Amino acid sequence: MNHKTSKALQGAALLSLLPAAAMAQQRYNIVYIMTDDHTAQMMSCYDKRYVSTPNLDRIAADGVKFTQSYVANSLSGPSRACMLTGKHSHKNGFTHNEHGIFDGSQQTMPKLMQQAGYQTAIVGKWHLVSLPTGFDYWNILPEQGDYYNPAFINMQNDTIREEGYVTNIVTDKAIDWMENKRDKNRPFILFIHQKACHRCWLPELKYLHEYEDKTFPIPETFYDDYAGRQAAQAQEMRIASNHDMDLTYDTKMYDANVQTRLTPNYLNMIGRLSSADRAKYDQFYDSLAIDFRSRHLQGKELAEFKFQRYMRDYAKVLKSLDDNIGRTLDYLKQAGLLENTLVVYTSDQGFYMGEHGWFDKRFMYQESFSTPLVMRLPEGLKARGDISEMVQNIDYAPTFLDIAGAQIPSDIQGESLLPLLRGEHPKNWRKSLYYHFYEYPAEHSVKRHYGVSTADGWKLIHFYRDIDAWELYNLNEDPHELNNLYGKKGTEKVTKRLMKELRRLQKQYDDPIAQ
């Protein structure tokens, strides 16, 4: 027996003597970071036009960036429910934020991860109304949470106000759990759910002045007239509209003599600041507001002023987020965890940064149907660079179960991404995605719709309920989705193909709308 063989045999014998817990330790940890309303246009590894996000880009640089990453239902609670269950909204039951309560007694990925020997923890935004189930540790924001001195609900169901800026505190809690609260002999999955960058984009005070010198380019479709798109005409998410984007709440042009629709909400939010911090905050925005009121902007000038304010404040909130991504990565490195941990970064959906003249999300159009998805891969997972297969947020649950070596239950509707992370490109990978949005009537007035999007660049959408409107887009020729081809001459064949695919997906996913 040569030296090498005897060593290998010794190794194998040693391995078989290891207790189950130590064996389990060989499995990858998972740190799943999800933000709110962070869109790929505002992440420099996806789009360099607006901001630089060096720490987020680090995740992609040491791993992969998904270029065709989508959600199943572009809204917070539903998106979280899809992620936790690996199922479309009609199956997990949480179809919309308003009036929904997540049924925490159902099968969820965190519960299955626990059964597979993983410790599970979540900190930050939860937004599913019922309290978390399937987590060994949790500390969550009530509903949307607050940016300044936010309250958290602990496992005793006490709501406790904490000092500081929400993005920093959520990260502190995540690091504290990894460092002090978990059992270091077992693998873990930690969900870090940031409130950033949700409306109304309140910056960390140290970044108040950031981006003030920057003028953001106006998107090509900012002055879209929504011709041929009935549902796009009916929405209430226009930056130019003072009803949709509130001058006080959203753009922070507060005037004590002017009461807007959302002034009370705004004053509640900034009222959480200490008086010293409030003075700093007011000093900054008051001078902008006084100048703004003196200019009496109208029409295009007003719309573009609001766009700049929106972009700047969103970018400031993002800056704190990027810092905290850096802190999380640095902690993992310093704790010796980085090489054995899959780090996933995504958002609950994409967002409009002025495209079509909008903010918010909901539509199956690209900006809000897509969501950023990058992963830092542990040693052993070989994929690098861009991955262009179509993926969806129902895929995260089966992926994590696969990584844990657990069985993926047959009722899970997503696909494991593990083959893609290994660098494989399975020939039979899905060629289309299904989407269904339900929250109507509701804020922002986006009509109910479902649709199909295909890997070869076509999209068919049906808006329904108090409307019956179909839209068809060729993304290869019309990436901004301005030209609705539905019913146009020459599109009969492709419409038929997409309609068939849509019905096939509705059947496959067992969506009752199809019956």
Pairing state between β 29-35 and 341-347 = parallel
Q: Which of Ca ion, ligand SGN, none binds 103 (CB below 5-8 Å, type-dependent)? A: none
Q: Yes or no: say if 40 and 350 are a contact pair by the CB < 8 Å rule.
A: yes
**Is 97 near ligand SGN (CB under 6 A)?**
yes
Stretch that binds ligand SGN, among 50-58, 194-202, 279-287, 485-493 (CB under 6 A): 194-202
Residues 425-454 binding Ca ion (CB under 5 A) are none
d(CA 433, CA 451): 8
Of 80, 199, 447, 462, the one binding ligand SGN (CB under 6 A) is 199
DSSP-derived letter for residue 93 is S
Min dist CB 378 to Ca ion, Å, is: 28
Residues 23-42 binding Ca ion (CB under 5 A) are 36-37
**Is 236 near ligand SGN (CB under 6 A)?**
no
Q: Which of Ca ion, ligand SGN, none binds 444 (CB below 5-8 Å, type-dependent)? A: ligand SGN
Of 277, 330, 443, 510, the one binding ligand SGN (CB under 6 A) is 443
d(CA 319, CA 19): 44
Residue 304 or 348 having the CB closest to Ca ion: 348
Of 136, 224, 323, 360, the one binding ligand SGN (CB under 6 A) is 360
**Is 76 near ligand SGN (CB under 6 A)?**
yes
Q: How many CB atoms lie within 10 A of CB 502?
A: 22
Min dist CB 96 to ligand SGN, Å, is: 9
d(CA 341, CA 331): 12
Q: Which residue is nearest to ligand SGN (CB)?
A: 76
Residue 271 burial by Cβ neighbours in a 10 Å radius (0-12, 13-18, 19+): exposed
Q: Yes or no: say if 348 and 392 are a contact pair by the CB < 8 Å rule.
A: no
Residues 288-347 binding ligand SGN (CB under 6 A) are none
d(CA 323, CA 51): 13
Q: How many CB atoms lie within 10 A of CB 497?
A: 14
**Is 348 near Ca ion (CB under 5 A)?**
yes
The helix (H) or strand (E) run that includes residue 173 is helix 166-176
> Total residues contacting ligand SGN (rule CB under 6 A)?
16
Q: Yes or no: say if 197 and 173 are a contact pair by the CB < 8 Å rule.
A: no
Residues 252-271 binding ligand SGN (CB under 6 A) are 262, 265
Angle at 474 between CA 502 and CA 359, to 5 degrees: 90
Residue 35 or 171 having the CB closest to Ca ion: 35
DSSP-derived letter for residue 203 is P
Tokens 């039951």 locate to 93
Strand partners, 144: none
Residue 144 or 474 having the CB closest to Ca ion: 144
Of 55, 69, 74, 76, the one binding Ca ion (CB under 5 A) is 76
Min dist CB 184 to ligand SGN, Å, is: 34
Q: Quick check: helix, strand or coil at residue 333?
A: helix
Min dist CB 277 to Ca ion, Å, is: 26
Stretch that binds ligand SGN, among 84-92, 195-203, 305-313, 456-464 (CB under 6 A): 195-203
Q: What is the largest CA-CA distance in the chain?
A: 90
Binding mask 115-154 for ligand SGN (x = CB under 6 A): ------------x----------------x----------
Min dist CB 298 to Ca ion, Å, is: 31
Number of Cα atoms under 13 Å in the Cβ half of residue 466: 8
**Is 75 near ligand SGN (CB under 6 A)?**
yes
d(CA 481, CA 229): 10
Tokens of 465: 């309920």
Residue 104 burial by Cβ neighbours in a 10 Å radius (0-12, 13-18, 19+): middle
Of 111, 384, 430, 444, the one binding ligand SGN (CB under 6 A) is 444
> Total residues contacting Ca ion (rule CB under 5 A)?
4
Tokens 């949470």 locate to 145
Per CB under 6 A, residues contacting ligand SGN are 36-37, 75-76, 97, 127, 144, 198-200, 262, 265, 348, 360, 443-444
Per CB under 5 A, residues contacting Ca ion are 36-37, 76, 348
